Amino acid sequence: MRVLVVGAGAVGGYFGGRLAQAGRDVTFLVRPRRAEALAENGLRILSPFGDHHLSKPQLTTAESLAGPADLILLSCKAYDLDSAMASFAPAVGPQTLILPLINGMAHIDALSARFGAEKILGGLCMISATLTAEGAIAHLNSLHQITFGDLEGRRTARLAAAAELLGGAGFDARESANIRQDMWEKWIFIAGLAGATCLMRAAIGDLVAAGAGELALGLFEACAAIASANGFPPGREHVERTRRALTEPGSTIAASMLRDIESGARVEADQILGDLLRRSTADSDWTSLLRVAYAHVKAYEARRLREKAADLHS
């Protein structure tokens, strides 16, 4: 199978690099500047599971993309989805499967509307990774899992081929018969985490130390209620695991959205918090606080754009 990995950032670079390391036919669709860096330095992974240097990754840009791929691994930020779809559209053929590793659920509708629902898989990944100043991919934790599945729970020949390709490639690949449930559970976890840690600008352990450990729990409960109202109540095991994670003393866990805010970067406010709130059918005190957390992040976005515009005109 021909695999097209859209982007070679922390997530796409890690999983695409591992697939290439395992001998899969992988091409990275990247912007010209990233293509130049990768052509010169290769793609380097630094990981607890073993470092790897792909000295000559197969690269393409949107302008030179030709021919359909069998599997498109999509790992862009949710706010870059429109431009990403435009860039890889020439690689979508009649038998192409698209596996998005994007937070939230709104991207499923957008991808289905453009390319057809039969081409879209559900997916999520569990990994903490970042790009170093030198452009290497630093894997920061002991998780590196992709969960994927047919959105309607079907087992097709194309899905079986994708599962075989992803399996045994140096990371954990799990096929799910209920991928929508898995995606909703991840969504409400990161939404509760983002709401609490961004609002307080602190990690979970800091909230606990400040006597505010119930804040993250309450926001998660509001998110879980929204999921339940939409037909995806989180399972008991997920709820118990999340409660432990959100109340652990000394924990340094914080949402990646907080790291983006601290570095002055763009954030997925609308896709993670805003879209979830739009699906809410009833308000509670915690839902109201979730709206405050969303407003807090949106205010950051507005300030960031204002200051960026001021810099351009100074």
For the question of residue 56 being annotated catalytic, the response is: no
- For the chain, the first-to-last Cα distance in angstroms comes to 51
CB under 8 A, 24+ apart: contacts of 127-136: 127/11, 127/14, 127/15, 129/10, 129/11, 129/14, 130/10, 131/9, 131/10, 131/13, 132/46, 134/41, 135/37, 135/38, 135/41, 135/44, 136/44, 136/45, 136/46
Rounded to an integer, what distance in angstroms lies between the CA atom of residue 159 and that of residue 237?
A: 27
Rounded to an integer, what distance in angstroms lies between the CA atom of residue 43 and that of residue 56?
A: 8
List the one residue out of 71, 81, 69 whose CA is nearest residue 108: 81
- Widest CA span in the chain: 58
Three-state secondary-structure class, residue 124: strand
Catalytic residue among 56, 77, 186, 308: 186
Task: Using the structure block, give the residue that is written with the tokens 């399996």.
Answer: 167
- For residue 251 the two structure tokens come to 């924990």
Q: Residues with catalytic annotation?
A: 186
